[in-house]
Structure 1
């Protein structure tokens, strides 16, 4: 049977860096994690409108009109309440006035609503790097990744999460576009705030280090050691873990998929 590259995302890398055993319970053994939140319908509509705003504009004029912006919004409002339609329009209009109009010209992005994909080889195993972005802009010296945030009470991601995202995205995007990721910007749509992170070589080194540890754990099943800390009190798998419970519950039976690791050899 043909082996495939092991799928990796920034979320999975953070999980492994935080606790290898919790990673094993979720991604290797197959225990499901309880869902915490429902779908963010308004956020989905805003993301869709912004994608169409950039994707379908003809760029024959410096700036799109209010009519074009409203057209993009009205294509996304089918599942919204009247209050959400009005709230979303105000958010979209504020974005237009603060992010686009001051520039004088709406710049065509390199890509919108795209998938990040790349490959890396560590300790004899091949990993497929994956992720998503809302917008990818070209800079004179590289790339900028834009991530829209639409939650009512937005929080900045943890520093470790950002570091792993930057490293993983940098590796994958350079393979795809032949350019370095220079920065990632979070745009908080409800407030208009922009938070920018600069990408450094250290971010790539950190990701490669975490992937290296994961590769060893994948090849040595007994290596999924717990990493105790504050996260243990909120861990969805604590009841199965000997580091949390003196008498942990036995793991429930789950239907596990056969894992096929792709080995890489150098000649």
Structure 2
């Protein structure tokens, strides 16, 4: 049977970099992580509206009208309360006035609501790189990835997570578009704040290093050593970990899927 490439995302890489043993419990052994977040209905409606705003506009005029923005929004409000509809419209109108109108013309993005996919080979193993973006813009010298943030109390992502995201996305997007990812911008829809990160070669090198370390543990399944730190206090798997508890609970039985790694050979 043909083995598939090993799936990697920025979230998985961050989990591994934070603690190899927690990574093993979740992604290799198969323990489920409890979910604490419900569906963000308003956030989803805002994301889809902005995707349609850019994707379906005819671009025969410099700027879309308020009527076009409202049309896109009203296509998404079926599951919202009256209060959410009003709140969502205020968020979108602020975005329109701060992100589009001042430019004088709405630029057509390269893609919206897309999936990042790429392949990389490290130490004879093939990895499939995955991720998502809300918008991808063309720059004179490369690409800019746009990520909308719609939560009421958003937190800035940790620096290590951003670094791994930038490196992984840079590798995958260059394969797909033949252009370098130059920056990633987070747009906080409720406040209008924009936070931009510049992409450097160091981000790619860091991701390649972390993947290389992961490869060694995938080939030697006995060496998933814990990495203790502040994260241990919130770890969903702490009760199974000997580094946290001198007498940890035994791992529950789970139905594990056989893992197949794609070996790559140079001919």
- So what's the TM-score if we normalise by structure 2? 0.99
Q: Structure 1 segments of 4 or more deviating over 2 A?
A: none
Match of 2:107 in 1: 107
Shift of 1:192: 0.1
Number of aligned residue pairs: 267
**1:134-173 correspondence to structure 2 within 5 Å:** 134-173=134-173
1:36 offset after TM fit, Å?
1.1
Equivalence for 1:23: 23
TM superposition shift of 1:265: 1.3
Paired position in structure 2 for 1:133:
133
Counterpart for residue 122 of structure 1: 122
Supply the distance in 1 between the matched residues of 2:113 and 2:240 (Cα, whole angstroms). 38
**Could you say which residue in structure 1 is the equivalent of 2:84?**
84
Distance in 2, Cα, partners of 1:208 & 1:256: 28
> Within 2, Cα distance between the matches of 1:76 and 1:212?
43
For structure 1, which runs of at least 5 residues remain unmatched after alignment? Answer: none
Alpha-carbon distance in 2 for matches of 1:85, 1:103:
27
> Structure 2 stretches of 5 or more lacking a match?
none
Query: Which residue is 1:220 aligned to?
Result: 220
CA distance in 1, matches of 2:143, 2:223: 37
| Matching residue of 2:58 | 58
Write the mapping of 1:193-204 to structure 2, written as runs, cut at 5 A.
Answer: 193-204=193-204
Match of residue 236 from structure 1: 236
- 1:154 is displaced (CA, Å) by 1.1
Aligned residue in 1 for 2:190: 190
* 2-structure distance, mates of 1:152, 1:233: 25
The Cα shift of 1:14 comes to 0.1
Residue 213 of structure 2 aligns to a residue whose secondary structure is helix
**CA displacement at 1:248 relative to structure 2:** 0.5
Deviation per CA, 1:94-128, whole angstroms, max 9, x where unpaired?
Answer: 00000000000000000000000000000110000
Q: Give a deviation string over 1:202-226, Cα, whole Å, max 9, x none.
A: 0000000000011111000011110
What residue in structure 2 maps to residue 67 of structure 1?
67
Measure the CA separation in 2 of the matches of 1:196 and 1:168.
17
With structure 1 as the length reference, what TM-score do the two structures score? 0.99
SS of residue paired to 1:212: helix
Query: What are the Cα deviations for residues 135-193 of structure 1, in whole angstroms up to 9, with x where unaligned?
Result: 00000000000000001111110000000000000000000000000000000000000
Where 1:33 maps in the other structure, the secondary structure is coil
Please state how far the C-alpha of 1:266 moved relative to its aligned partner.
1.8
Do structure 1's residue 253 and structure 2's residue 253 form an aligned pair? Answer: yes
* Secondary structure, counterpart of 1:76 in structure 2: coil
Between the aligned partners of 2:223 and 2:172, the Cα distance in structure 1 is: 27
Between the aligned partners of 2:230 and 2:46, the Cα distance in structure 1 is 35
Tell me, in whole angstroms, the C-alpha distance in 2 between the residues paired with 1:206 and 1:12: 14
Q: Following the alignment from structure 1 to structure 2, what is the Cα–Cα distance between the partners of residues 253 and 178?
A: 45
